[in-house]
């Protein structure tokens, strides 16, 4: 766990946080990497919402995107491969007042972290989860990931990936207690901003699959979407992601979609001909496990010990 660079007054109300207050170390991602844009948007949202840096935690696993906590001027935890979510859930259990952001990738979350991904959604703890989906293991130099398209050549599959890729949207929508699922692209900063902001506004576990450019190892995967926006399907609705007219014009294909409609969300995600961008599903009524797991956090030591002894006494013989 690492922390803040400066001294912080305890008088929170009188402070105004600038973008500089959310800046950590210099980002060392490759030039042109989509991760830079996501970091900038997260810092802007923190600034626009005036989130106190000392009450904000960025948590990650392993991968290129998992460097993000180092580049935030907040608290951070750079964890083990696939283990960002249990760390984030642990933080939320004990310190529910903290704002928790998770940076993970398609390999980190949808492969080695699969068990945690499923159960973190089921627990629906209040956190914003950014999945940087570049369809490749970038940090370890181009191995096939769960979302690598069939036929794509990598160092582990030099003649092309042989399995159909995992569909993170349909998989996430199928998990009990799912409450917020969206997809966006890193190269449209306004849609990216509005999507991440909506996710952060949601009380519960919000998952955003961000289609992210990796110009070094998987350029082709996102290039066809950048060059041909007709391959994208913009989801519109008054309860969806707010979109200005000038942004809407960038998307030749659009569809009205009520994010409370799970079966329609599933059908849209299942159709792999067009890549949806927008809010697929939103249910603000799903209970949050952190509301339950943090009960008793304010108890004193004696009260806790008395409760513990009472439970243990049940097993006395
Ligand atoms: Fe970004 Fe790809 Fe470079 Fe990793 S390898 S920093 S994902 S461009």
DSSP string for residues in 173-231: HTSTT--EEEEEETT-HHHHHHHHHHHHHSSSEEEEEEE---TTT-HHHHHHHHH-GGG
Nearest alpha carbon to residue 42 among 198, 193, 241, 247: 193
Q: Does residue 10 form part of some domain? A: no
Q: Is 268 part of a structural domain of the chain?
A: yes
CB 217 less than 6 A from any atom of ligand 1: yes
- Number of domain units in the chain: 1
Neighbours of 2 (CB within 10 A): 13
Q: How far apart are CA 174 and CA 178, in angstroms?
A: 8
The answer as to whether 39 is a domain residue is: yes
Tokens at 142, concatenated: 């181009």
Determine the distance separating the centroid of ligand 1 and the alpha carbon of 139, expressed in angstroms. 7
pLDDT in tens, 51-103: 999 999 999 999 999 999 999 999 999 999 999 999 999 999 999 999 999 99
- With bands split at pLDDT 50, 70 and 90, how would you rate the model's confidence at 298? confident
**Residue 1 lies inside a defined structural domain of this protein:** no
Ligand 1: atom nearest CA of 30 is 3
Cite the DSSP H helix spans in the chain: 35-48, 84-94, 106-107, 114-123, 168-173, 189-201, 219-227, 245-248, 262-270, 289-293, 301-313
Q: Using pLDDT thresholds of 50, 70 and 90, give the confidence band for residue 304.
A: confident
Residue 201 in tokens: 């506004």
30 lines ligand 1 (CB under 6 A): yes
In a domain, 242, yes or no: yes
Q: Which atom of ligand 1 is nearest to the CA of 215?
A: 8
Structural domain includes residue 37? yes
Residue 13 in any domain: the answer is no
Task: Find the CATH number of the domain harbouring 125.
Answer: 3.40.50.970
Distance CA 295, CA 301 (A): 14
Q: Is 47 inside a domain boundary? A: yes
From the number of C-beta atoms within 10 Å of its C-beta (0-12, 13-18, 19+), residue 90 rates as middle
35, 213, 215, 303 from 32: Cα distances, Å: 9, 8, 7, 55
∠ CA 152-275-140, rounded to 5°: 40
Per-residue confidence band for 1, with pLDDT thresholds at 50, 70 and 90: low
Give the Cα separation of 300 and 277 in Å (integer): 48
Q: Whose CA is nearest to atom 6 of ligand 1?
A: 29
Q: What is the distance between the alpha carbons of residues 165 and 142, in angstroms, rounded to a whole number?
A: 16
- In tens, the pLDDT along 159-189 reads 999 999 999 999 999 999 999 999 999 999 9
pLDDT tier, 295 (very low <50, low <70, confident <90, very high otherwise): confident
Query: What range defines the domain where residue 142 resides?
Result: 19-315
Maximal C-alpha separation, the chain:
74
């Amino acid at each position: 766990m690492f922390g803040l660079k400066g001294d912080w007054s305890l008088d929170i109300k009188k402070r105004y946080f600038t973008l500089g207050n959310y800046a950590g170390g210099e980002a060392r991602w490759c030039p042109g990497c989509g991760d830079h844009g996501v970091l900038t948007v997260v810092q802007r949202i923190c600034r626009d919402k005036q989130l106190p840096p000392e009450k904000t935690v960025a948590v990650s696993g392993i991968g290129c995107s998992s460097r993000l906590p180092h580049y935030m001027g907040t608290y951070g935890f750079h964890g083990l491969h696939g283990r960002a979510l249990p760390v984030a859930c642990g933080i939320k259990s004990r310190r529910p007042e903290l704002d928790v952001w998770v940076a993970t990738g398609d390999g980190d979350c949808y492969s080695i972290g699969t068990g945690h991904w499923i159960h973190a959604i089921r627990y629906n703890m209040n956190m914003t989860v950014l999945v940087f989906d570049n369809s490749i293991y970038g940090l370890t130099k181009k191995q096939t990931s769960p979302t690598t398209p069939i036929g794509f050549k990598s160092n582990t599959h030099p003649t092309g990936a042989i399995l159909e890729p995992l569909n993170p949207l349909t998989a996430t929508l199928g998990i009990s207690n799912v409450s917020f699922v969206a997809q966006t692209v890193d190269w449209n900063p306004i849609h990216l901003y509005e999507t991440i902001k909506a996710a952060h506004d949601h009380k519960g576990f919000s998952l955003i699959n961000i289609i992210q450019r990796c110009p070094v190892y998987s350029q082709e995967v996102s290039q066809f979407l950048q060059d041909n926006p007709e391959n994208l399907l913009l989801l519109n609705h008054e309860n969806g992601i707010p979109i200005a007219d000038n942004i809407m014009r960038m998307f030749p294909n659009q569809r009205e979609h009520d994010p409370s409609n799970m079966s329609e969300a599933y059908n849209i995600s299942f159709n792999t001909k067009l890549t949806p961008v927008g809010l697929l599903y939103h249910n603000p009524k799903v209970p949050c496990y952190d509301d339950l797991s943090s009960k008793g956090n304010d108890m004193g030591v004696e009260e806790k010990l008395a409760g513990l002894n009472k439970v243990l006494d049940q097993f006395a013989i």
